Amino acid sequence: MSPSPLLQVAGLRASIAGKEILKGVDLTVHTGEVHAIMGPNGSGKSTLANVIAGHPAYAVTGGSVRYRGKDLLAMTPDLRAREGLFLAFQYPVEVPGVRNSQFLRSALNAGRLHRGLPELELKEFNKLLKEKMALVEMNPSFTTRSVNEGFSGGEKKRNEILQMALLEPTLALLDETDSGLDIDALRTVSAGVNALRRADNAIVIVTHYQRLLDYIVPDFVHVLVDGRLVRSGGRELALELEREGYERIRQAVESAQPAKS
């Protein structure tokens, strides 16, 4: 018998502004695994990531999500984060007036307190921050700037991975982390993510393109179309999608289903 999963999504349905986006998603993730969720635009990939993270704009209308054996949907977004869940945003939010270093330290210490660890003193924190910034090759000047304010697209994504590196999540969801990255930034960000892969954590990558998966190699690939996971496979499925596009899968799925009235 396999050990109990880290994340178990069953029959998950969710809508935004009254429109149903997820129409029954099942997904099981164990520690030590990297999963990729692929799919065309509008299929619900980002919705899935945001619902798991607890974005208040989405309403869960059915199904369940268990995380480390607990009911994830009953937790507030901040509690989910303190329990080791992390979402790297597709569009990281600019927060003018909040210093990046102050934000990072508050976030880190919120998690530490939750785990019964003492808060990191400023000096220890600065040492840790320096080390993690080197990992994602981020300029030290970004610590004193406001969170994401005036950052380029690539800088924002690096800042997301920096946060991931600091918070050391048990389950990381990367939402289109490759979008807007040039090839050098993509390499750096991927190297940062790969350095965080461990036997006791897991990563779920949401991406439209196969490109990122050349750098962060997944164990499982799932295809999401119209709010449902329609196919799952190994690494080779991503390459097939790259070769043939989403249209074939979409047609195959539609022909297998009764026509909508």
Partner 1 sequence: MPTVTAPPTSPYQSAYDSLASQSAQQPAWLRDLRRNAMQRFAHLGFPTARRGNEPWKYTSVAPIAQAALAHDAAAGAATLAHLKRLAPWRDAWPRLVFVDGRYNARLSSCDSLPRGVRLHTLAHALATDPAALEPHLGHIASWTDDAFVALNTAFLADGAVLIIPPGAVLEEPVHILHVVTDGAGAIAAHPRTLVLAGDRSRAAIIETFVSASGAAYFTNAVTEIVAAPSAQIAHAKLMLEGAASYHVGGTCVRQAQDSAFTSASISSGAALARNNLAILLASPGASCNLSGLSLTAGSQHLDNTLSVDHAAPHTTSRQIYKGILDGQSRAVFVGRVLVRQGATKADAVQRSKNLLLSRGAEIDAKPSLEILTDDVRCSHGATAGELDQSALFYLMSRGLPRDAARSLLVQAFASEIIQSLAIAPLRTWLDRRLALPLAASHAEVPA
Helix, strand, coil percent content, the chain, rounded in steps of 5: 40, 30, 35
Considering only residues 13, 24, 103, 145, which one is a binding residue for partner 1 as defined by CB under 8 A? 103
Helix/strand/coil for 24: strand
**Interacting positions 144-173 with partner 1 (CB under 8 A):** 146, 163, 167
Query: Residue 84's closest CA among 94, 98, 69, 99?
Result: 69
Q: Decide: is 82 part of the binding site for partner 1 (CB under 8 A).
A: yes
Q: How far is the CB of 94 from partner 1 (least distance, A)?
A: 8
Q: Decide: is 53 part of the binding site for partner 1 (CB under 8 A).
A: yes
Nearer to partner 1, 49 or 221 (CB): 49
Alpha-carbon distance of 248 to 152, in angstroms, equals 36
Considering only residues 3, 18, 56, 116, which one is a binding residue for partner 1 as defined by CB under 8 A? 56
Residue 168 is given by DSSP the state -
Nearer to partner 1, 89 or 220 (CB): 89
Alpha-carbon distance of 183 to 248, in angstroms, equals 28
Distances (CA, A) of 237 to 36, 37, 63, 232, 233: 10, 11, 27, 8, 6
Question: Is residue 54 within 8 Å of residue 75, measured between CB atoms?
Answer: yes
Residue type, 35: H
Q: How far is the CB of 87 from partner 1 (least distance, A)?
A: 6
Query: Residue 142's closest CA among 63, 152, 213?
Result: 152
Considering only residues 3, 17, 19, 93, which one is a binding residue for partner 1 as defined by CB under 8 A? 93
Which residue stretch of 90-98, 183-191, 213-221, 222-230 sits at the interface with partner 1 (rule: CB under 8 A)? 90-98
Considering only residues 10, 75, 98, 239, which one is a binding residue for partner 1 as defined by CB under 8 A? 98
- CA triple 62-64-67, angle to 5 deg: 155
Q: Decide: is 92 part of the binding site for partner 1 (CB under 8 A).
A: yes
Q: Decide: is 81 part of the binding site for partner 1 (CB under 8 A).
A: yes
Which residue stretch of 55-63, 123-131, 205-213, 241-249 sits at the interface with partner 1 (rule: CB under 8 A)? 55-63
Alpha-carbon distance of 224 to 218, in angstroms, equals 16
Considering only residues 4, 71, 74, 95, which one is a binding residue for partner 1 as defined by CB under 8 A? 95
Question: Is residue 208 within 8 Å of residue 181, measured between CB atoms?
Answer: no
Nearer to partner 1, 26 or 155 (CB): 155
Considering only residues 76, 139, 144, 251, which one is a binding residue for partner 1 as defined by CB under 8 A? 76
Question: Site residues (CB under 8 A) for partner 1?
Answer: 53-57, 76-78, 80-82, 86-87, 89, 92-98, 102-103, 106-107, 110-111, 114, 146, 163, 167
